[in-house]
Amino acid sequence: MTTTTHRIVVLGAGYTGMLAAIRLARRTRKMDVAITLVNPSARFTERLRMHQIAAGQELAHHDIPEILDGTGVEFVQGRVTAIDATAQRVHVDGAGELGYDELIYALGSTAETTLVPGVADHAFTLDDPRLAREFASELATLAAQEASVAVCGGGLTGIEAATEIAESHPGLRVTLISSGEPGAMMGGRARAHLNKALDRLGIIREIGVRVTTVRPDAVELADGTVIGADLTLWTTGVRVSPLAAEAGIETDARGLIVVDPTLKSLSHPMIHAIGDAAAVRQGWGQVHGTCQSGLPTAAYTADLIAAELRGKTVRPFRFGYFHQPVSLGRRDAVIQFTNADDTPRRLYLTGWAARTYKEMVSSSPVPTFKASKKMTMSVQLSKGGKATRAYA
pLDDT score, position 4: 81
Mean pLDDT of 366-381: 94
Query: CA angle at residue 239 from 324 to 284, to 5 degrees?
Result: 45
pLDDT score, position 390: 61
pLDDT score, position 289: 80
Burial class (CB in 10 A: 0-12, 13-18, 19+), 366: middle
- Domain residue extents for the chain: 6-108+241-389, 111-234
Query: Nearest Cα to 177, choosing from 120, 114, 116?
Result: 116
pLDDT score, position 94: 86
Beta bridge partners of 251: 257
Beta bridge partners of 74: 36
Q: Indicate if the pLDDT at residue 227 is higher than 80.
A: yes
Mean pLDDT of 190-219: 97
Q: Indicate if the pLDDT at residue 2 is higher than 80.
A: no
Q: Indicate if the pLDDT at residue 210 is higher than 50.
A: yes
Q: Is residue 257 within 8 Å of 273, Cβ to Cβ? A: yes
Query: Nearest Cα to 42, choosing from 96, 89, 94?
Result: 94
- Residue 160's pLDDT band, with cuts at 50, 70 and 90, is very high
Dump pLDDT digits (tens) for 9-31. 999 999 999 999 999 999 999 99
6-108+241-389: CATH topology: FAD/NAD(P)-binding domain (3.50.50)
Q: Is residue 98 within 8 Å of 11, Cβ to Cβ? A: no
pLDDT score, position 290: 86
- The dihedral through the CA atoms of 384, 386, 390, 392 has a sign that is positive
* Percentage above 90 pLDDT, the chain: 91
pLDDT score, position 177: 98
CATH of 111-234, one of 3.40.50.300, 3.40.1160.10, 3.50.50.60, 3.40.30.10: 3.50.50.60
Mean pLDDT of 202-209: 96
Question: Amino acid identity, residue 334?
Answer: V
Beta bridge partners of 63: 43
pLDDT score, position 392: 54
Write the secondary structure of the chain as one string of H (helix), E (strand) and C (coil). Answer: CCCCCEEEEEECCCHHHHHHHHHHHHHCCCCCEEEEEEECCCECCCHHHHHHHHCCCCCCCCEHHHHHCCCCCEEEECCEEEEECCCCEEEECCCEEEECCEEEECCCEEECCCCCCCHHHHCECCCCHHHHHHHHHHHHHHHCCCCEEEEECCCHHHHHHHHHHHHHCCCCEEEEEECCCCCCCCCHHHHHHHHHHHHHCCCEEEECCCEEEECCCEEEECCCCEEECCEEEECCCEEECCHHHHCCCCECCCCCEEECCCCEECCCCCEEECHHHEECEECCEECCCCHHHHHHHHHHHHHHHHHHHCCCCCCCCCCCCCEEEEECCCCCEEEEEECCCCCEEEEEEEHHHHHHHHHHHHCCCHHHHHHCCCCCCCCCCCCCCHHHHCCC
CA 188, chain centre distance (Å): 26
Residue 98 φ/ψ, nearest 5 degrees: -125, 125
pLDDT score, position 1: 41
d(CA 154, CA 163): 11
Between the alpha carbon of residue 326 and those of residues 39, 196, 252, 272, the distances in Å are 28, 14, 29, 30
Mean pLDDT of 111-137: 95
**pTM for this predicted structure:** 0.95
92-127: b (≥16 Cβ within 10 Å) or e = beeeeebebebbbbbbbbbbebeebebbeebbbbbb
Dump pLDDT digits (tens) for 355-368. 999 999 888 899 99
- The dihedral through the CA atoms of 274, 109, 369, 164 has a sign that is negative
Dump pLDDT digits (tens) for 241-283. 999 999 999 999 999 999 999 999 999 999 999 999 999 999 9
Mean pLDDT of 219-235: 97
Q: Indicate if the pLDDT at residue 124 is higher than 90.
A: yes
Q: What is the mean pLDDT of the chain?
A: 95
pLDDT score, position 3: 57
Instruction: Evaluate whether 6-108+241-389 and 111-234 have a shared fold.
Output: yes
d(CA 135, CA 216): 14
pLDDT score, position 144: 84
